[in-house]
Structure 1
Amino acid sequence: MSTAWDLKRQLKNAINAHDLQRVLDCYSPDAVYVAPSGIAEGHEEIAWHYEQYFKGFPDFHATAWLELAECAIPAVTEWTYTGTHTGPFLLPDGHVIERTGHRITVRASCAAHIEDGKIITHREYYDQLELYSQLGFGLTELNPASA
């Protein structure tokens, strides 16, 4: 039986290979994935979530630079995500950002709860403004009448 850290490393390797089946093999069938872009429940929705990143950033790569080894429940990792935006990328509001060609480097962290050798909940945290500003977008002023 693998440890939580073995499973997290299997997930990282599957993500970096853009192998959706191997990614899903790390999750229980009813797992819940929570990210700044939304919540995915079950294999179908989790696969869809990862597909959005793999389509938008065909060279998407996750590098773990800190694993809290003393903490296996939840298994907490800090990452750096890199990639080049060369495909369509779906935003949480439903808009699609077409290819910008911009390179991204985004800091992230996650906490995964694991039972019986599978991830049951996975919470991913990253600064969406950091990502969007690297894609060439910024904040816009809200219309005071609609705020």
Structure 2
Amino acid sequence: MNVAREVRDRYTGAFNAHDMKALLRTFSPAGVSISPEGVSQGHSELASYLEEFWTAFPDVRAVLTESSEGEATTVDELLMVGTHRGPYTMPDGQVLSATGRPVRLRCCYVCTVEDGLITSLRLYFDQLELLTQLSSSVTLRRS
């Protein structure tokens, strides 16, 4: 196992345990996390984002489905699995109150590691898929 994979796996383990201290030990103090919700730079912004996310989905965990790695980069496909139990700020800035709905969201992380720390973590997911799972008022029609 290369260093990038080992660091990324420790990040995922800490994320699943909701262990902020362990998670931040994997992340560069100058690191950047990018997701549809926005950009977090550094430990304090990342911690703020994750605490808000863990409040919205207190039982959330990342379930790895596929992974690939290079010397300094990992690419992981996963499912974010949890229950919407608290306020969640949508990518457009609207706050969605707890729905109690289960979520199984397909995601992709691209992670870059330098000197044993994550310097860039990019999360991709289908925002419509998430909204559909959270909202009973969204109806999709097939043509």
Q: TM-score scaled to structure 1, two decimals?
A: 0.87
Partner of 1:50: 50
Aligned-partner SS, 2:21? helix
What is aligned with 1:11?
11
TM-score (norm 2): 0.90
Number of aligned residue pairs: give it: 137
User: Residues 117-137 of structure 1, C-alpha deviation per residue, up to 9 Å, x if partnerless?
Assistant: 000011110111111110015
How far is the alpha carbon of 1:46 from its aligned partner? 0.7
In 1, Cα distance between the equivalents of 2:19 and 2:94? 26
What SS does the aligned partner of 1:76 have?
Answer: strand
Counterpart Cα distance in 2 of 1:36 and 1:72: 26
Q: Deviations over 1:41-84 (max 9, x none)?
A: 11111111111210000000101111114x24321111111100
Shift >6 Å, 4+ stretches: none
User: Whole-Å Cα distance in 1 between the matches of residues 134 and 3 of structure 2?
Assistant: 37
Which of the pair has more CA radius of gyration? Answer: 1
> What does residue 30 of structure 2 align with?
30
Conserved 8 A contact 2:72-2:114:
no
- Shift of residue 23, structure 1, vs aligned partner: 1.3
Identity %: 35
Residue aligned with 2:104, SS: strand
Structure 1 residue runs without a partner (length 5+)? 140-147
Q: Aligned runs of 1:86-97 on 2, under 5 Å?
A: 86-97=85-96
State the Cα RMSD in Å: 1.5
Structure 2 alignment gaps of length 5 or more: none
